[in-house]
Structure formats: C-alpha cells, structure tokens
C-alpha cells in the first residue's frame, strides 16, 4: 500500500467515523482490512482502495468503517463507572424523578452490548427501589454487524468470564451449547439502534444518564468538543455523563463539569447551557418494574 493509498483510507475513516489514525498505523489497517478485502474478492489493500474510489462502493465503505471501528468490550468494564451508576446516579434520579417516574439512559458506544446489559443487570438487582418507574436504555453504535451480535445476547465462555460476577452469570444467562445467552427479560430492557456520533442525535430526546466511554479517545480535539457539546444539549440539567478512564471534558469545553469525588462522572454546567429548549424524546418502548409496558 502506497502512502497515497494510506492517506486516502485515513481521510475516509476520519470523515465517516471520526476515527483518527496516526501516520504509523499501517499494521492496524492491514490486520483489520485484509479480511474485508478477501470477503469482497480483492487481492489486497491496494485493490481495496481502488474499489473504494469507484462508483457504487458504499457497501464496501460501510464494511471498511465497521471493521475499523469495532472495539472490544466486556461486562462491568473498569467497575468504577458501574458503582457510580448504582450508588450515585440512580439513587439521585429516583428521588428527582419521583413524580415523572421515568429515567432515560443512553449507551453511546455500545459495541457488542456488554455495557448496556451490565447497566440492565444493575437495575434488575435494585428491584423494589425502582417500583413503578419506566426506564429506557438506548444502546447505539456505528456498526450494524456488532449490534446484531449485541441484540442476540450470545457470548462465549471467554467473554462472560471477563468482568461478569459468577452470581450474575447464573441469574441472568442461559447456556446455549458452548455459548451463554442473556436472559430475555434483560435483553428486553435494552433498545439497540445504529447511530453515528458524527451525525445529529438530538432526536434521542432528553436523557438522564449518558455513558459515552472509550470512544472519544479516537477523535481529534475538534470532534471531541463537538460531540460533548451536543451531548450536553440533550442531557437533563440534573443528569450525568460517564466517560472512559482516559477521557475528560476538562480543557475541552465547559458544557459539563466534574462531579466532586467521582472520577469520570460529569454533570451539565448550568452556567454554560444554552437557552435552547431540550428536544422532546420520541415515543419509544420502555421497561417498567416487573416487565415491559
């Protein structure tokens, strides 16, 4: 692959997904995209680039972007964000939403589903504390292929051993051959949708909790600022944003501020919020305590 071809792929990925590849990431392109080339009957990356430049290349472009943006995930990744969710965010919102009895959660980079299912299992464990509440968990990702895996709720023995407590495995999974499948009630708690963070997502409506973890690190500074500011516009004034361990809003934007003593948790900065009304959410199914409503 020539430098010109490499630069073409870098530009394509930046425009379509926000992914920023440094000049020395040839090995990553080769490992991720050679299987895509073979799938389409192409000899190598040079032929792949040639095909991408030709008319009617959209299906191939989608495959290329999905191959490069599919990131690994595992249950209760980093633990601390899920402790904050259980011990800070939900208790606060249960009190604050005592009248509306509705809580809306968005996992903005859901990958293969472990993060939203982890949140769903926590909510199920909280049981009676959420009696009468309608809770939506919206899980989005750029990749259709990875979301299909997430919807199936099927995970290998290796995947369920990564971060998932044994008692939760027993309670919430059924063994299917050599795989483990998330129980129907947990799967019913999560709505999976395809969404590109570079595009408008205001249609999601007002959200109480946003998990946008381990995705901003792949963006350049301008894109990070844009995404964070747009998230702020649809986060409830008393809502929460959870970022990955290597991510922060500090030094980027004042639309969020850190929650004292809670690493990785942010809340909207009222002083910086615009006067633009928050959009209303579209009517979507939600689960209520005891089942779907």
Quick: pLDDT tens for 194-239: 999 999 999 999 999 999 999 998 899 999 999 999 999 999 999 9
Q: Which class is domain 80-292?
A: alpha beta
Q: What pLDDT shows up at residue 271?
A: 65
Domain(s) labelled CATH 3.40.50.150 in the chain stretch across 80-292
* pLDDT tens digits, one per residue of 115-133: 999 999 999 999 889 999 9
199, 201, 241, 225: which is closest to 105 by C-alpha?
241
- All CATH 1.10.155 domain ranges of the chain, comma separated, are 3-69
At residue 107, the pLDDT reads 97
Q: What whole-number percentage of the chain has pLDDT above 90?
A: 68
C-alpha 235/C-alpha 232 separation (Å) is: 5
Predicted pLDDT of residue 278:
47
pLDDT per residue over 40-78, tens digit each? 999 889 999 999 999 988 999 988 988 887 667 899 999
Closest to 224 in 3D by CA, of 199, 246, 252: 252
Please, which pLDDT band fits residue 266 given cuts at 50, 70 and 90?
very high
How many residues make up the chain in this entry? Answer: 293
Q: Which CATH architecture has domain 3-69?
A: Orthogonal Bundle (1.10)
Closest CA to 266 of 199, 198, 211: 211
């Amino acid at each position: 692959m020539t430098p010109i071809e490499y630069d073409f792929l870098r530009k394509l990925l930046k425009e379509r997904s926000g992914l920023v590849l440094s000049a020395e990431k040839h090995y990553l392109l080769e490992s991720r995209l050679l299987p895509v080339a073979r799938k389409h009957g192409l000899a190598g990356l040079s032929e792949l680039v040639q095909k991408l430049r030709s008319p009617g290349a959209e299906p191939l472009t989608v495959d290329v972007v999905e191959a490069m943006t599919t990131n690994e995930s595992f249950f209760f990744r980093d633990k601390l964000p899920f402790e904050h969710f259980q011990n800070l965010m939900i208790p606060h919102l249960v009190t604050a939403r005592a009248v509306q009895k509705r809580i809306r959660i968005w996992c903005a980079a859901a990958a293969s589903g472990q993060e939203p299912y982890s949140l769903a299992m926590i909510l199920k464990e909280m049981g009676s504390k959420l009696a009468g509440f309608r809770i939506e968990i919206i899980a989005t990702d750029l990749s259709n292929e990875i979301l299909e895996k997430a919807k199936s709720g099927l995970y290998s023995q290796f995947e369920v051993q990564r971060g998932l407590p044994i008692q939760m495995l027993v309670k919430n999974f059924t063994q299917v051959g050599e795989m483990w499948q998330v129980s129907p009630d947990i799967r019913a708690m999560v709505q999976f949708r395809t969404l590109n963070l570079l595009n408008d997502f205001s249609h999601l409506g007002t959200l109480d909790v946003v998990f946008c973890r381990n995705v901003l690190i792949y963006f350049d500074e301008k894109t990070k600022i844009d995404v964070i500011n747009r998230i702020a516009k649809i986060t409830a004034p008393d809502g929460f944003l959870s970022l990955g361990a290597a991510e922060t809003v500090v030094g980027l934007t004042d639309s969020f501020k850190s929650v004292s003593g809670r690493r990785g948790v942010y809340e909207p900065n009222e002083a910086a919020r615009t006067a633009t009304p928050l959009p209303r959410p579209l009517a979507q199914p939600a689960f209520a305590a005891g089942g779907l409503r």
